[in-house]
């Protein structure tokens, strides 16, 4: 990063917003975003179900293939190569299903290879499966269902007519019951520990572009109903400076019940997102879980933007935006050699039973996201 005052997350949505402005796609597809099957019902109706922690065993990982030049620009080669690399890497550990439009399916199959299953029956606008895909839940007795968070393009910032239907269509493909949450949001906006505790930023969810007029209490109830939780740890977040309004999964993650990590900025960083990260660490360090256990919080040091490969001001360099699949941690490296090495060592220490795979996903980072943003786990029932 050349200007520490800009902030690491300030990069996160500006590039994607630039694509939107150039293509005239802002706020397209709003009506579809809140469309829910009348038979779907409310997520709270299946209270025995709970979204498990990401670390549990998965049946498969869901991903989506980007093919829209209106969003990504004329050259799709970089982001497609990154998506294919992530998919092939995860496929070494568990099955991967890639949703691709008919026009892009052949390219997806060619780049992802035979270890990744590519389907063209679920249409997509973009690759951010964490936000558009369903939240799968288990009941501890072999049952599995799925909840949709009513994706609306991060507050009508991007075309999303197809992405608004992805969650429901994946649930149908998987053959599980689908319900719709009583809120509008994205999977990257909410972290769960699988034991009753959630964490999220107010800036993303308690926001008129998602949930106008909704009180924090009502939003908490809807979130807890959707995830099968009983407590929300809130951070203020940063509103209006990136397309997501500051998703929690780029900064803070649950490791397991009672344990979390926070990606920390350099001591010299003092922008809004650096202050937000420090606040998240402070709040988590003094919080308790839904069961009353005091939180233990590890620090994951972020890179120096002056030392990373990318010089793009929109770049997101988040080690915390890693993905846990069966037996592995899939994370990014950014070219700050010392920080990359230290992050890998930290993740290996925090996940001692998993292989740490570090990937160059710079094109995806330039688009404002990371590995966790483009994956969605389907847990084993």
Written as one string, the DSSP assignment of 109-126 is HHHH-TTSEEESSS--SS
Strand partners, 199: 191, 233
In 3-state terms, what secondary structure has residue 191? Answer: strand
Helix 102-112 and helix 77-90, axial crossing angle in degrees, nearest 10: 60
Strand partners, 144: 138
CB 189 within 8 A of CB 238: no
Give exposure, 205-218, as e/b (b: 16+ Cβ within 10 Å): bbbebbbeebeeee
Written as one string, the DSSP assignment of 292-348 is SPBPEEEEEEPPPTTTSS---TT----SSS-EEETTEEEEEE-S-HHHHHHHHHHHH
Q: What is the spatial distance between Cα 270 and Cα 21, in angstroms, rounded to a whole number?
A: 29
Q: Enumerate residues 6+ apart whose C-beta is below 8 A from 213.
A: none
CB 276 within 8 A of CB 236: yes
Strand order in the sheet with 197-201: 190-192, 197-201, 231-235
Residues designated catalytic: 373
Q: For 53-97, where are the alpha helices, taking DSSP H only? A: 69-72, 77-90
Q: What is the spatial distance between Cα 252 and Cα 169, in angstroms, rounded to a whole number?
A: 29
Q: What is the spatial distance between Cα 361 and Cα 81, in angstroms, rounded to a whole number?
A: 9
Task: List the Cα angle 186/188/193 in 5-degree steps.
Answer: 115
């Amino acid at each position: 990063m050349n200007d520490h005052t800009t902030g690491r997350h300030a990069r996160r949505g500006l590039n994607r917003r630039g694509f939107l402005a150039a293509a005239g796609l802002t706020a397209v597809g709003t009506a579809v975003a809140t469309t829910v099957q009348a038979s779907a019902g409310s997520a709270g109706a299946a209270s025995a179900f709970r979204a498990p922690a990401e670390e549990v065993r998965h049946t498969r990982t869901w991903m989506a293939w980007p093919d829209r030049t209106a969003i990504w620009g004329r050259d799709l080669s970089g982001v497609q190569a990154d998506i294919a690399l992530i998919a092939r890497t995860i496929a070494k550990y568990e099955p991967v299903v890639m949703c691709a439009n008919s026009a892009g399916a052949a390219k997806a199959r060619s780049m992802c290879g035979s270890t990744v299953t590519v389907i063209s029956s679920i249409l997509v606008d973009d690759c951010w499966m964490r936000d558009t895909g369903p939240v799968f839940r288990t009941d501890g007795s072999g049952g599995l269902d799925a909840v949709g968070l009513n994706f609306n393009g991060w507050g009508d910032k991007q075309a999303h007519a197809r992405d608004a239907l992805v969650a429901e269509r994946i649930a149908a493909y998987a053959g599980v019951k689908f319900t719709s949450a009583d809120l509008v949001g994205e999977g990257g906006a909410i972290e769960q520990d699988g034991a009753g505790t959630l964490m999220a930023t107010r800036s993303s969810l308690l926001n008129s572009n998602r949930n106008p007029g909704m009180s924090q209490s009502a939003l908490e109830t809807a979130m807890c109903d959707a995830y099968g939780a009983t407590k929300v740890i809130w951070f203020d977040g940063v509103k209006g400076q990136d397309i997501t309004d500051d998703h929690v999964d780029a900064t803070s993650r649950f490791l397991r019940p009672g344990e979390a990590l926070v990606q920390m900025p350099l001591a010299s960083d003092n922008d809004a997102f650096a202050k937000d990260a420090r606040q998240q660490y402070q709040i988590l360090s003094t919080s308790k879980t839904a069961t009353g256990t005091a939180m233990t919080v590890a620090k994951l040091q972020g890179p120096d933007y002056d030392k990373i490969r990318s010089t793009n001001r929109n770049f997101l360099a988040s080690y915390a935006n890693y993905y846990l699949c069966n037996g592995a941690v899939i994370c990014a490296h950014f070219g700050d050699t010392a920080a990359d090495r230290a992050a890998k060592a930290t993740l290996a220490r925090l996940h001692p039973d998993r292989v740490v795979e570090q990937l160059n996903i710079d094109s995806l980072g330039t688009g404002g996201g990371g590995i966790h943003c483009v994956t969605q786990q389907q847990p084993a029932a």
